[in-house]
Amino acid sequence: MKRRHFIHAAAATLLLPADMKPRAAVLPTDLQNLDYAFFDERFPRAGRVAASWSASNRLVGVHGDITPFWSNGLDRTTRERPLTLRGATTESFRFCLGILVAEHAHFDVQGSRLDRNLFLWTMRTTPKFDRGTTPWLSPYHRV
């Protein structure tokens, strides 16, 4: 990741909490089709919240670090198609995910604090396509 992109993404996510308005712990109800649902296994409340989400969602237990999961395919998937991600994790998990996603996709995130340790969030991503990877344009197509 280029340093400039890292700084831009980090600055954007630092501004995020100021933009968030207090909201109920339940975020949008279109949770039937989540691509990934993360919960921090270190906190029993995160497990209970994740268990209340639709059983058809792919639940992923984490221990505060997105890196292993990111390296096992989420990075590639983020570049290929839009995703809806949800989590009951620490805020640092969501922050790091935002920095990683920003390299490959545009994203919108909504969230609220569940308690002192946990943050409930929903992130929607849209891939950033460059000229060489845009699926509907060949590399030889002129715009």
Task: Decide: 9 and 103 in contact? Cβ < 8 Å.
Answer: yes
Compute φ and ψ for 113, nearest 5 degrees.
Answer: -80, 130
Q: Note the pLDDT tens digit of each residue in 111-121.
A: 999 999 999 99
59 contact partners, CB below 8 Å, separation of at least 6 = 37, 39, 50, 53
The span from the first CA to the last CA of the chain, in angstroms, equals 27
Helix (H, G, I), strand (E, B) or coil at 5: helix
pTM of this structure: 0.69
Q: What is the pLDDT of residue 73?
A: 87
Q: Note the pLDDT tens digit of each residue in 36-57.
A: 999 999 999 999 999 888 766 7
Q: Note the pLDDT tens digit of each residue in 79-123.
A: 999 999 999 999 999 999 999 999 999 999 999 999 999 999 999
The whole-angstrom separation of Cα 103 and Cα 13 is 13
Q: How confident is the model at residue 29 (pLDDT cuts 50, 70, 90)?
A: very low
Strand extents, DSSP E, the chain: 36-40, 59-62, 83-89, 105-113, 119-127
